[in-house]
Amino acid sequence: MADAVRTSLGPRGMDKMIQSEDGTVLVTNDGATILSKMNVFHPAAKMLVGISNAQDVEAGDGTTSVVVLCGSLLKEAQKLLGKGIHPSVISKAWGKAVIHAGAILEKVAAPVKLRDREMLVKAAKTSLSSKVISQYADTFAPIAVDSVLRVIDADEATNVDLDDIRIVTKIGGTMDDTELVDGIVFGKGMHKPASGGAVIENARIALIQFCLSAPKTDIDNQVVVSEYSQMDRILREERKYILKLCKAIKKSGCNVLLVQKSILRDAVNDLSLHFLSKLGIAVVPNIEREEVEFVCKSLGCKPIAHVDQLNSEMLGSAKIVEEATIGGRGRVVKITGINDGGRTCSILVRGSNQVVLEEADRSLHDALCVVRSLVKKRFLISGGGAPEIEIAHGLTRWSQSLSGQESYCVRAYASAMEVIPYTLAENAGLNPIAVVTELRRRHAQSEAHVGINVRKGCITDIRDENVWQPLLNTISALTLSTETVQMLLKIDDQVAVR
């Protein structure tokens, strides 16, 4: 499994095309996505999927690296076991090695301030450089940084809730048309009022959770109507019931209505849309249940479960609600200039087809996670395999001060670290053995930031190329992969139960 995702590592890594049973096609090089789509049966292989997901949650990026590192550590462990070293000795030595590796990384890390937007953009670009949409990194990286800085207090924040940043994908236009919206975007059109156009100013917005359609019985009953007069009476009562609801909405001062999707019956029907249009109220139907919390936080409004609760205090307000047409292929609604809203924002991602949009969504999520990692731990390290070679060099020197089997184990751990620069060189079409040997020599001369320059196909000081990554990503990958291998080393038998 580690070898399967290894070819996807780095900016020159290859993409995987995944086809599911129902014929849906997915093109990605995100390690967590590839592994989550695999049908894995071996219990140890399932643990690799687990650490990839854990890395995705903790750091967001480096999901391929963590699996490649784990595979390399397992190979080294197999060699040590072949030499007759006990698993407990290996496990204990590697536990010490990972702590020492963290200390080595902290020595070469550079502190970063969240006010330094330029450095944050460089880190986000490094994350995007290995993605399918790498040529649009100049568009996406600033959007990722600005959106995170918009939802946090840069001086006090210790974490970022990425649920406050909503990504909406819409087919039409190109990736360059992707934009950050300070407000809410709905990937659907709205039913406009009879009097107004596509732009509503000084909007008073209500989010309702009740249905604007005729009520139904709780159980599946049939009503047989035999006379026309009875049929007219039913239709009259239905009109009266819906009109009463619409007038109550108008009375509250609402002029833009958001309606939550209903599974029991139609949330809105043609009759209610007609009445609301006559009353000068625009309607955005079918708001998903999981969107409600974000909408309420953004608008500063409260969801209304019953018409009796509807009053002006429950409404949110915004300067502009507008409907825009996307490249002649669909419409979106933007709510901007929100008064007393929460710290949230939306990103409207544009693209030519669904496969590209899905990959753009995943890539943008990774870039957001990189910025979140810098909020959690405000240190950057250089990329391009430099940190891994520096760890290998530092641990090799440290192993010389140890004695016995522990020294062997630490040296093996150091050797396993070299898989990252080896793979980066291999995927870039360079000679991996020559590259890793040269890197060892340069790092032995205290050039801690020298790494593989994939663009030029040589070894340079990676800081000059602006290739930076969060310290948290590498430390998290090291810790997770080492813990997994330690756990596997402690297992001596597999017992099947019914």
Catalytic annotation, pick one of 7, 30, 126, 178: 30
Catalytic annotation, pick one of 33, 366, 479, 484: 366
Note if 30 is an active site residue.
Answer: yes
Catalytic annotation, pick one of 63, 169, 178, 479: 63
What's the longest Cα–Cα distance across the chain? Answer: 100
Which are the contacts of 366, defined by CB distance < 8 A and separation ≥ 6? 30, 60, 61, 127, 128, 131
Question: What does the chain come to in residues?
Answer: 498
d(CA 373, CA 471): 8
Note if 461 is an active site residue.
Answer: no
**C-beta neighbour count of 213 within 10 angstroms:** 20
Name the phi and psi angles at 257, rounded to 5: -115, 125
Note if 366 is an active site residue.
Answer: yes
Catalytic annotation, pick one of 7, 33, 64, 482: 64
Name the phi and psi angles at 342, rounded to 5: -85, 175
Note if 176 is an active site residue.
Answer: no
d(CA 214, CA 272): 10
CA angle 121, 122, 125 (to 5 degrees): 85
Active site amino acids: 30, 63-64, 366
